Amino acid sequence: MSKAFIPTAARPGVITANDLREGHNVWMCEDGWTPDPAQATLYEDEAIAELALLKAIGQDNLVVGPYMVEARRGPNGPEPTHFREAFRQKGPSNYFHGIQTTKKSEAAHV
């Protein structure tokens, strides 16, 4: 999993990190950070993405370890392209814990 992913229009990306105080996964969105990956801002332009990542890194008092990672445009928002990010967006497979408990769309068919 490369943390130096640079998004393009063909291969867009999102910025993700962990919440400093509680540790859960968060994604950068228009007005800050969201625990809902579907709300994440999808970056398709290298320069804009770079600025956004710098901004994320500057929010060290809110989040831990922000990085840019590939995502694809989906009907309900950005979707993961790699299984690691898919697990981060869902939660563990052995228990119904983590993000899956708060995402209505996925909870409905679990």
Partner 1 sequence: MFDARPSDTDYVRHRVSQFRAQVARRLDGSLTEDEFRPLRLMNGVYLQLHAYMLRIAIPYGTLSPDQMRMLAYLAEHYDKGYGHWTTRTNMQFNWPKLVEIPDMLDHLASVNLHAIQTSGNTIRNTTTDAFAGAAADEITDPRPYAELIRKWSTDHAEFQFLPRKFKIAISGGKRDRALVPAHDIGLRIVEKDGQRGFEVWVGGGLGRTPMLGSVIRDFLPEQDLLPYLEAIIATYNLTGRRDNKYKARIKITVSERGLDVFKADVEDDFKFRRLEFHGVDQEALAEFRERFAAPAFRNAAVDGFEAERAANPAFRSWTDTNLHPHKIDGYASVIVTFKAPGATPGDASAEQMRLLAELAEKYGHDDIRVSHDQNVVLPHVHKADLPALYLALREAGLATANAGKTSDIIACPGMDYCTLATARSIPIAQEIAEHFRAVGLEDEIGKLNIRISGCINACGHHHLGHIGILGLDRAGVENYQITLGGDGYDIPAIGQRAGAGFPAEEVVPAIDRLLRAYLEIREDENERFIDAYRRLGPAPFKAVLYPETVDA
- How far is Cα 6 from Cα 50, in angstroms, rounded to an integer? 8
CA separation, residue 55 to residues 48, 62, 65 (Å): 11, 12, 12
**Inter-residue contact 40 to 14 (CB < 8 Å):** yes
Measured from the CB atom, is 48 or 86 closer to partner 1?
86
Contact with partner 1 (CB under 8 A): which of 55, 92, 102, 110? Answer: 92
Regarding 84 and contact with partner 1 (CB under 8 A), the answer is yes
Contact with partner 1 (CB under 8 A): which of 3, 9, 22, 105? Answer: 22
The footprint of partner 1 on residues 28-57 (CB under 8 A) is none
Partners of residue 32 on adjacent β-strands? 29
Regarding 2 and contact with partner 1 (CB under 8 A), the answer is no
Tell me how far, at minimum, the Cβ of 43 lies from partner 1, in Å.
20
Contact with partner 1 (CB under 8 A): which of 36, 50, 98, 106? Answer: 98
- The dihedral through the CA atoms of 75, 7, 28, 34 has a sign that is positive
